[in-house]
Structure 1
Amino acid sequence: MIHIEVVFSPAPRQIEMSTLALPLGSCVKDALLAAHLLGQAQHLSVGIWGRKATLAHVLQDRDRVEVYRGLIVDPKEARRVRYRAHGEKTTRGVKRPNKRPLSNSSG
């Protein structure tokens, strides 16, 4: 027998975790079936310890199967929106210019 964890976050700040004991030679699909997540996971990505995996990937003892849901907002775009909302970056309440001033080099 191998012992694994299956983790799924159906919504932000919500986590469903199952600890399973499966026969040696079980794959990701078997783990999702045992955790009753196969229907949801077929439309989402899966991974093991943060690395993308297929449903046919054979599991090892103490693996952590993670089910990833799609992103609602592109992280780069969210960062741009936050930057525009806050304006220029500040350091301890003092606004800094976006560009470094040119240095005066005397010969």
Structure 2
Amino acid sequence: MVDIEVVYADVDRQVLLAVAMPVGTSLRAAVLASGIAEHFPQLALADCPLGIFGKVVADADVRAVQPGDRIEIYRPLLADPKEIRRLRAAKAAMLKRKNT
């Protein structure tokens, strides 16, 4: 068995589950078997991007868990960062024109 952690942070709370998985279990299978869905039933665990210690894993269905892995479940972005920066810059420019 391999000892790992599965983590998900929502807007309101964070849950960290310490679980033991059989050697050779994929990251995705470990997340599905961890029981995290009981805490966050709205999650589409089959589609969520996964990472290990802050680095996205390209193929979570293939990569096997390693001892001590901290598997992180990532949420989709609520807004496009480029669009947010563009809107912020436009607002700053408007305020600058208004104050001059």
TM-score by length of 2: 0.69
* Pairing 1:85–2:91 present: yes
CA RMSD of aligned residues (A): 2.3
SS in structure 2 of the partner of residue 40 of structure 1: coil
SS in structure 2 of the partner of residue 72 of structure 1: coil
- What do the CA deviations read for 1:54-90 (whole angstroms, capped 9, x no partner)? 22311110111111121120011112222223348xx
The number of aligned residues is 87
* Relative contact order higher in (CA < 8 Å, ≥ 6 apart): 2
Which is richer in helix? Answer: 2
Greater mean alpha carbon deviation, residues 46-55 or residues 73-82: 46-55
**Structure 1 residues 1-107: aligned runs within 5 Å:** 1-9=1-9, 11-37=10-36, 40-49=44-53, 50-52=55-57, 53-87=59-93
Distance 1:44 1:37 in 2: 13
Unpaired segments ≥5 residues, structure 1: 89-107
- What do the CA deviations read for 1:38-63 (whole angstroms, capped 9, x no partner)? 66211321222212242231111011
Greater mean alpha carbon deviation, residues 12-21 or residues 72-81: 12-21
Q: Aligned letter for 2:76?
A: G
Distance 1:54 1:87 in 2: 43
TM-score by length of 1: 0.65
Q: Identity over the aligned pairs, expressed in percent? A: 31
